[in-house]
Structure 1
Amino acid sequence: MPATQPAMPFFIILNAASGHKEAGDTRSIISRVMREAGREHHLRLVENPQDLAEIARTTVAQANQVGGAVVVAGGDGTINTVANAVLPSACPLGILPSGTFNYFGRTHRIPEDTQEAVRMLLNASPQPVQVGLVNDHIFLVNASLGLYPKLLEDREAWKQQYGRSRMVAMWAALASVIGARRQLHLHLTRGGEVASWRTPTLFVANNKLQMEQIGMAEADALDKGFLVAIAPRPVGTGALLWLALRGALGTLGQAGDVRSFALREMEVRQSKRHSRSIKVAVDGEILRLHEPLRFKVSPQPLYLLKDTVSTGGAA
């Protein structure tokens, strides 16, 4: 585990893509709390989302040179991009959640209020956190293919028109489910065994809070070094809507039309391939990855800055 010093400098990455006014307010809060605490900090504002990955890599290098920590302010997708740069270096990572659902931050009891989150960072220490990988791309919350990536694309279109809120996201999801038609034909290899599944979507989870909220019995497996795969059986639109409702009510795990299991490694291929790549949603961002898809638990944890007093120790 990386060592930390009480006055370790913070190298802060702030994603301004969601709006300059909101980013300006967040920047002011961060700077004020850091100045009041006398903490050395360096803040980098990301104006263009396409620059985020490169800025993350250079920021990690700067932090490592002086024994500092990287801090990212943004939603789960922004956090994911910065975590991809942080993971190989074992540099401590702090987060200031500001997305729609903030599953990663909420799982680790990091306040969604920026001022409270910054103050928590001042006394936090790095704790190991499990990371999922799909073809060597990190996922901290989930990775999925099929209906779920389509849902995320539709949700983004709705947000552009109606604004960012959890209610807008829910209505977008409903519209996506109603319009769902395509079934995936998948071969899943796990522990030497191969299963052939037809399903509208395959969802691989790495977030206990999300699993608890939809009512999956395997949620506790995420504390034991596993990921959780979930796939509904081929069903009609009405049954798919019923499954979505059961997820909202926290009873999805009791549905007979849902298959799920814990895994440490799994390979996934399409039985009918129209191309060599497939859309995969990774922590809310859409990637196009080459088959086969290889899901696994990363041998290297992420060292997340957490307040061990309020969180009750490492997760």
Structure 2
Amino acid sequence: MTAPLFPCEQPSNSGPLFVVLNGASGRAATEERQRLVSEQFNAAGRGHEYLTVKSGRELPQVARRAVELAQRERGVVVAAGGDGTINAVAQEVLDYGLPFGVLPQGTFNYFGRANGISQDIATAARALVQAPVRPVQVGQVNGHRFLVNASIGLYPKLLEDREQWKRQYGRSRLVALGSAIATVLREHRRLNIELVRGEQIRIIHATTLFVGNNALQLKQLGLPEAERIEQGELAALALHPVSRLTMLWLMLRSAFGKLADAEEVQRSAFRHMTVEPRLHYGSHRIKVAVDGEILWLRPPLHFEVAPHPLYLVAAEPTGPLE
């Protein structure tokens, strides 16, 4: 692979499309998605190639291969999957300034929905071959990029438990809700965190620290910081230690988009923030959830807006975020 390239001008959406396709849902479903997508690409006269991924472990390698092909052919790298798949492919694309397309497949698809990309894969494919390229903001923590959010504390545990429930009961919003309720009813460790923003240092006690980079997700929680994302910042939410009953009440408020006035939640917006968790004796790393994927990182954690954007192939959303 050639050296990273950050173009002086935005790349164009004119070359062949190299689609990294999450095939975890099975051969029949994968072949049907390929058929629907190929119909739209062929109708537009666009060359394309599928690089199918059968397990999460293959994603980085397959994404790198797609980047190599797109560099050589002056093409577009496309991620077909949920937010985790989209993030994994974007990680490889970002350093090379290549155009990046999305064909959403997951349960929540915050990234695709926030950028006006249809949840119907055929509709999304048809729009993809016609859309312009525009820069979108990326967040990062210790060099690991995130398109939607990153977090420590309770939220990573929620994600881990949700995946276990999905494997047992299937993928649906109802299963995700049931898993979340079961998780918050357990005992949770309190985090002692030092936050550094510029010259300001603050010590807080929290069960979770959530950093968002997705205006749609924050808007659904009823948080005014959604507008700050669109102004080039990230949003931080720290949940103070509360009782189980209060935790359930906060979940209910968040479900109805009423979290803004909750006294138990501390909120702020920033471009760069250093987080120093006070770890237990013998601990050298902390669990961090990055767009749904679990990483173990060494503190301090440096959260910031990435210096380079992702060049997304998508028109500007024309309606309200939903």
**TM-score, with normalisation over the residues of structure 1?**
0.95
Which runs of 5 or more residues in structure 2 are unaligned?
1-8
Aligned to 1:47: 54
Residues in 2 aligned to 1:176 and 1:154: alpha-carbon distance in whole angstroms: 7
SS in 1 for 2:19: strand
Matches within 5 A, 1:1-315: 1-4=9-12, 7-274=14-281, 275-308=283-316, 311=318
Against the structure 1 CA distance between its residues 179 and 2, is the aligned structure 2 distance closer, same or farther, given a 3 Å change threshold?
same
Which runs of 5 or more residues in structure 1 are unaligned?
none
State whether residues 132 and 314 of structure 2, in contact with CA within 8 Å, keep that contact through their aligned partners in structure 1: yes
Aligned-pair Cα RMSD in Å: 1.3
Please state how far the C-alpha of 1:37 moved relative to its aligned partner: 2.2
SS in 2 for 1:160: helix
- Of Structure 1 and Structure 2, which has the larger fraction of its residues in helix? 1
Please state how far the C-alpha of 1:311 moved relative to its aligned partner: 3.7
Residues in 2 aligned to 1:9 and 1:311: alpha-carbon distance in whole angstroms: 27
SS in 1 for 2:238: strand
Cα displacement string for residues 43-90 of structure 1 (whole angstroms, at most 9, x for unaligned residues): 111123211101111211210122111001000000000000000101
Cα displacement string for residues 168-208 of structure 1 (whole angstroms, at most 9, x for unaligned residues): 11111111111142111111111121111111100000000
The one-letter amino acid of 2:96's match is S
SS in 1 for 2:295: strand
SS in 1 for 2:67: helix
Please state how far the C-alpha of 1:142 moved relative to its aligned partner: 0.3
State whether residues 143 and 205 of structure 1, in contact with CA within 8 Å, keep that contact through their aligned partners in structure 2: yes
Residues in 1 aligned to 2:196 and 2:60: alpha-carbon distance in whole angstroms: 32
Identify the range of structure 1 (223-232 vs 58-67) with the bigger mean alpha-carbon deviation: 58-67
Residues in 2 aligned to 1:266 and 1:236: alpha-carbon distance in whole angstroms: 28
Residues in 2 aligned to 1:267 and 1:180: alpha-carbon distance in whole angstroms: 27
The one-letter amino acid of 1:2's match is Q
Please state how far the C-alpha of 1:213 moved relative to its aligned partner: 0.3
The one-letter amino acid of 1:221's match is R
Residues in 1 aligned to 2:27 and 2:275: alpha-carbon distance in whole angstroms: 41
Residues in 1 aligned to 2:213 and 2:251: alpha-carbon distance in whole angstroms: 19
State whether residues 147 and 180 of structure 1, in contact with CA within 8 Å, keep that contact through their aligned partners in structure 2: no
Residues in 1 aligned to 2:296 and 2:55: alpha-carbon distance in whole angstroms: 21
Residues in 2 aligned to 1:24 and 1:168: alpha-carbon distance in whole angstroms: 27
Q: Percent identity?
A: 48
Please state how far the C-alpha of 1:16 moved relative to its aligned partner: 0.7
Please state how far the C-alpha of 1:32 moved relative to its aligned partner: 2.1
State whether residues 11 and 98 of structure 2, in contact with CA within 8 Å, keep that contact through their aligned partners in structure 1: no
Please state how far the C-alpha of 1:285 moved relative to its aligned partner: 0.8
Question: For this pair of structures, how many residues does the alignment match?
Answer: 310
Cα displacement string for residues 124-165 of structure 1 (whole angstroms, at most 9, x for unaligned residues): 111000000001101100000100000001000100111001
Residues in 1 aligned to 2:187 and 2:112: alpha-carbon distance in whole angstroms: 31
Runs of 4+ in 1 over 3 A off after TM superposition: none
